[in-house]
Amino acid sequence: DTGVSQDPRHKITKRGQNVTFRCDPISEHNRLYWYRQTLGQGPEFLTYFQNEAQLEKSRLLSDRFSAERPKGSFSTLEIQRTEQGDSAMYLCASSPQGQGGSYGYTFGSGTRLTVV
Amino acid sequence: GDSVTQMEGPVTLSEEAFLTINCTYTATGYPSLFWYVQYPGEGLQLLLKATKADDKGSNKGFEATYRKETTSFHLEKGSVQVSDSAVYFCALSDRAAGNKLTFGGGTRVLVKP
> Distance (Å, rounded) from C-alpha B35 to C-alpha B55?
14
pLDDT at A98: 64
Considering only the beta carbons, identify the residue of A42, A106, A109 that sits closest to B106.
Answer: A42
CA distance A102 to chain B (A): 6
CA distance B61 to chain A (A): 19
> Across all residues in chain B, what is the average pLDDT?
93
Say what percent of chain B tops pLDDT 70.
100
Say what percent of chain A tops pLDDT 90.
77
Contact at CB, A104 and B49, closer than 8 angstroms: yes
A101 backbone dihedrals φ, ψ, rounded to 5°: -65, -35
Report helix, strand and coil shares of chain A as percent, to nearest 5.
5, 50, 45
Structure confidence at residue B42 as a pLDDT band (50, 70, 90): confident
Report helix, strand and coil shares of chain B as percent, to nearest 5.
5, 50, 40
